[in-house]
Amino acid sequence: MIIATSVTKKFGKLTALDNISATCNKGQTISLIGPNGSGKTTFIKCLLGMVVPDSGFITFNKQNIAHNWQYRSAIGYMPQIGRYPENMTIAQVLDMMKDIRKQSAVQLDEELIHLFKLDGMLHKRMGNLSGGTRQKVSASLAFLFNPDVLILDEPTAGLDPLSTEILKEKIRKEKQAGKLVLITSHILSDLDDIVTEVIYMEEGRLRFHKSLNQLQEDTGEKKLSRAIAQVMGS
Ligand SMILES: Nc1ncnc2c1ncn2[C@@H]1O[C@H](COP(=O)(O)OP(=O)(O)OP(=O)(O)O)[C@@H](O)[C@H]1O
């Protein structure tokens, strides 16, 4: 579905991505893990076409994304920090996004809006929302257009335990529906029961891409956090 081939990206002297190759398929829930600054967000932004690699290329359903912007409508993206016009209400932001996407044929998925109880606070201005509520708006927008691919950057950061469970349940459901889900998170316990694959990055390099089963087998650890701690310590 998404294939990155030898993707390299430099910011001045810093090599943020160093020859990254990875294949991400339908039905997988892939966790991108790595220390701060290892290149996870830069990689995600390359997949989204927000950062252009210096070399290498990325295909989405076999088409090079460099020559085809259409693919983006198949991706729901939840950024690490969602930035919205502060004076707009939640309702206005949702309407604006629906307007921009103009995908009237698409069956909207408003489940998260209801489960997060955002429908009871649609009149509130974005600038007055708590950090967690802002995250809920970002999550709801990522799922709203029923995309084939979900890219979630630190989705549970700032969410309370109940909302984290609601989001995890939603991710599980979408995975079962055959979607591809890519998640970065430092809270590994949040990923334990939803992830099928792990991509581990370090200093811009992809250190490994394994199924969770394989990682558990290789490290002898059942829990993702313990398995990764072992890898990081080795
Ligand atoms: N636009 C940019 N200009 C210059 N340097 C950048 C830019 N974007 C990212 N970097 C640098 O590239 C490196 C990788 O950053 P990136 O945000 O991809 O890391 P990350 O793995 O997502 O980190 P974190 O876990 O902290 O979110 C960092 O050293 C960062 O400072």
What is the average per-residue pLDDT within 7-11? 98
Q: Which of 15, 18, 42 to mutate to test the pocket of ligand 1 (most atoms within 8 A of CB)?
A: 42
Question: pTM for the whole thing?
Answer: 0.93
Longest dimension (CA), the chain: 51
Between the CA of residue 71 and those of 61, 66, 93, 171, 227, what are the distances in Å?
Answer: 9, 10, 23, 21, 35
Query: CB-side exposure of 88: number of CA atoms within 13 Å?
Result: 13
Centre of ligand 1 from the C-alpha of residue 52, in Å: 14
Q: How many domains does the chain have?
A: 1
CATH number of the domain within which 182 lies: 3.40.50.300
- Ligand 1 site residues (CB inside 6 A) read 11, 14, 16, 34, 36-42
Atom of ligand 1 nearest to the CA of 17: 14
Going by alpha carbons, the residue nearest to atom 24 of ligand 1 is: 36
pLDDT classification of 15: cutoffs 50, 70, 90: very high
For residues 53-65, one letter each, b for 16 or more C-beta atoms within 10 angstroms of the residue's C-beta and e for the rest, the string is beebebbbeeeeb
- Point out the ligand 1 atom lying closest to the alpha carbon of residue 34: 21
The per-residue pLDDT of the chain, averaged, comes to 93
The number of the ligand 1 atom at minimal distance from the alpha carbon of 35 is: 25
Domain enclosing residue 63, as ranges:
2-233
Percentage, residues of the chain above pLDDT 70: 99
pLDDT per residue over 97-127, tens digit each? 988 877 666 789 999 999 999 999 999 999 9
Is residue 92's pLDDT more than 90?
yes
Q: Give the CA radius of gyration of the chain.
A: 18
* pLDDT value of residue 105: 65
34-78 residue pLDDT tens? 999 999 999 999 999 999 999 999 999 999 999 788 899 899 999
Over range 18-33, report the average pLDDT: 95
Measuring CA to CA, which residue among 111, 132, 120 is closest to residue 89? Answer: 120
